[in-house]
Structure 1
Amino acid sequence: TLGIRQIECVRAILDRKIYEKNGVRIKRSQGYGTQTEKIEFDDIVKIAEENDISVFEARKMIEK
């Protein structure tokens, strides 16, 4: 059989707020029964370069 399946979906946009903690910007989003926090990637890269470490190590250091 030849054909195309088409599925429509709805995208929900969560409320976002950015706050600063210990000189690092953190993005918090929440809505629809969920809440997440994520460190701004640019801040992770900056700390990694300043300390001559990998981005992975910088993220671990910040999360402590």
Structure 2
Amino acid sequence: MLVDNLIIRRKRLEALASLLVSHDMKKINEEFYELIAQDKLPSDNNPYEVDWSKYDSLAPREEAVN
């Protein structure tokens, strides 16, 4: 899903591009939020105030998929 806010979209793409320099796609997919958190300054830790635990709870669990 595309984000309408171009500034947010640009920041996300820049973060992804910087991760690709030192990580493979599989690791980025599995640990995206942790990797992003490592690269950010403490004041920039969650600039959009997203509760990632609620977001992650929307994904089906592996045992439910199998």
Global fold match (TM > 0.5): no
The alignment's TM-score, normalised by the length of structure 2, stands at 0.25
Question: Which structure is higher in helix share?
Answer: 2
Question: Which structure is higher in strand share?
Answer: 1
Rg larger in structure: 1
Higher relative contact order (CA 8 A, sep 6+): 1
The alignment's TM-score, normalised by the length of structure 1, stands at 0.26
